Amino acid sequence: MCKKFAIFGVCEPLLTAIMTNYLSLFGDYLRSERRLAEGTVHNYLRDCEEFVVWCGAQPESFDPEQATLDDVKGWVVSLAEQKKEVVVGGRRKQVALYNPASINTKTASVRALFKWLHIAGHTTHNPAEQCRSQKTPSKLPTFIPEEQMMDILERLEERLQSDDYEVRRNALIVMMFYCTGLRLSELTALTRNSFTPSWESVRVVGKGGKERIVPIVSTLRHHLEDYYTFTLQKICPSRENLLILTSEGSPMSRYQIERAVQRVLAECGVVGKHSPHVLRHTFATLLLERGADIREIQELLGHSSLATTQIYTHNSIARLKEVYRTAHPRGK
C-alpha cells in the first residue's frame, strides 16, 4: 500500500475541516451533470475510494495534486495480484479476485475522477490519462436459443394463470425482460404511470436519464393488465406503487428481481448464466436474426453508441457459421 498521501502532524478534525472532499464533489458531478443512476454513482465512488485508501489517504483528506501515473499503475497491479480461494473438484485453489474486465472498470472510474478534477481546475495534471486498459478476451453476449425460449414461454403462460401471486409475478418479470429488453434497473423503477393507459407502450428512463419508448406486444399487454388487476385486488390497493411488488405490497429490490429471474430460468432448464441481462441479450439477438435493423435495436435497447449494439451481429455470424458447419456437406 502506498503511504505518500498520509499526512502527519495535523489533528484529524482540523485536517478534515481544511481539506476538500473531492470524491463527494465528484459524486455530485456524476449525479447532476452526467445524470447517472445512483447505483452507477455508487460504483464509481467505491472504485475511487479503493484507490484513495490504497494510496494511504481517506476520501476527506485526499490531495489529488500528489497523485502520479506510478500510483495509478501500482494500484492496478495490486488489483491484478489479489487472489481468492475457490474449491474445484474438491480441492482448494487460488484464482484472481478480479478479471481484466473488472480491473478495466475500476481503472475507468479513477480515470474519470482525474479527468473531472483536471477539467474543473482542482489539479494541474491528470495522472490517470496515460494508464492503459488491460487486454480482455472477446466474449459474445450469452443468450437463450429461440427454440428453448419458446418452450420457456409456454411454461410462463401456465404460471401466469396461477392464483399464487409470487408465481404469477415472477413469470411476468421474465416475460417482460424477454419482450422488452429492459435493463434490471429500468424494470425495477417501472410504475403504472410508465405505461400508456392501454398498456401499448412503456416509457423507460435509461442510463444518463435518457428516455425512450418501448412498444408492448399484445401477449404481454394482456398479462400486464391481468397482473395489475390481480395486484390491486390481492396485494396492494394503492395505484401509486411501483409495478413490481413483494407479496407484502412493498417494492422489490433489484437483488430480489434478479434472484426471481434466476430461479424461474433454472426451473425452466436454463443452464449456465441465467440473469436478467441474458434475457436482454436474447431479446436483441432474436430481433436481429428476424431481420430487425441494427439502429432500431439500438433505439429499443437505449444504447447511446451503435458500436455497443453491433456486438449482437457477431452472435448472428457465429450462429450462421455453426449452421454451415453442421448442415453443409463441406462444413465438417
The per-residue DSSP string of 111-169 comes to HHHHHHHHHTTS-S--TTTT-PPPP----PPP---HHHHHHHHHHHHHHTT-S-HHHHH
Q: Which residue ranges form the domains of the chain, and what is each CATH number?
A: 12-119 (1.10.150), 146-327 (1.10.443.10)
What confidence tier does 264 reach under pLDDT thresholds 50, 70, 90?
A: very high
pLDDT of 138 reads: 65
> Is 182 a residue whose pLDDT tops 90?
yes
- Alpha-carbon gap, residue 304 to 326, rounded angstroms: 37
**CA distance readout (Å), 10 to 2, 16, 187, 223, 272:** 19, 10, 49, 64, 54
For the chain, the helix, strand and coil percentages under 3-state DSSP, each to the nearest 5: 55, 10, 35
- Which residue numbers are catalytic? 183, 207, 277, 280, 303, 312
Determine how many CB atoms are found less than 10 A away from the CB of residue 108: 15
Strand, coil or helix: what is 226?
helix
Stated length of the chain? 332
HSE-up of residue 300 (Cα within 13 Å, Cβ side): 22
pLDDT of 88 reads: 75
Q: What is the mean pLDDT of the chain?
A: 85
Q: Grid coordinates representing 180? A: 422488452
Which range, 212-221, 238-247, 313-322, has the best average confidence (pLDDT)? Answer: 212-221
| Contact in structure between 254 and 150 (CB atoms under 8 Å) | no
Average pLDDT over residues 132-142: 77
Burial group, residue 227, by CB count within 10 angstroms (0-12, 13-18, 19+): buried
Average pLDDT over residues 292-297: 87
Q: Which phi and psi angles does 245 have, rounded to 5°?
A: -125, 160
- Alpha-carbon gap, residue 97 to 201, rounded angstroms: 42
Nearest to 62 by CA among 22, 118, 28: 22
pLDDT of 2 reads: 57
- Alpha-carbon gap, residue 308 to 299, rounded angstroms: 11
Look-up of cell digits 411501483: 242
Which residues neighbour 251 within 8 Å (Cβ) at sequence distance 6 or greater? 188, 241, 242, 244, 245
Nearest to 185 by CA among 323, 31, 37: 37
pLDDT of 114 reads: 96
Nearest to 37 by CA among 209, 188, 177, 190: 209
Sign of CA dihedral 169, 242, 40, 284: positive
- Going by the DSSP 8-state scheme, the letter that residue 328 receives in this structure is S
HSE-up of residue 42 (Cα within 13 Å, Cβ side): 3
What confidence tier does 85 reach under pLDDT thresholds 50, 70, 90?
A: confident
HSE-up of residue 125 (Cα within 13 Å, Cβ side): 9
Average pLDDT over residues 32-58: 91
Taking only the tens place, the pLDDT of each residue in 97-129 is 998 889 999 999 999 999 999 999 999 999 999
Q: When comparing pLDDT for 331 and 76, which is higher?
A: 76
pLDDT of 103 reads: 93
| Contact in structure between 297 and 283 (CB atoms under 8 Å) | no
- Alpha-carbon gap, residue 231 to 190, rounded angstroms: 15
Q: When comparing pLDDT for 177 and 140, which is higher?
A: 177
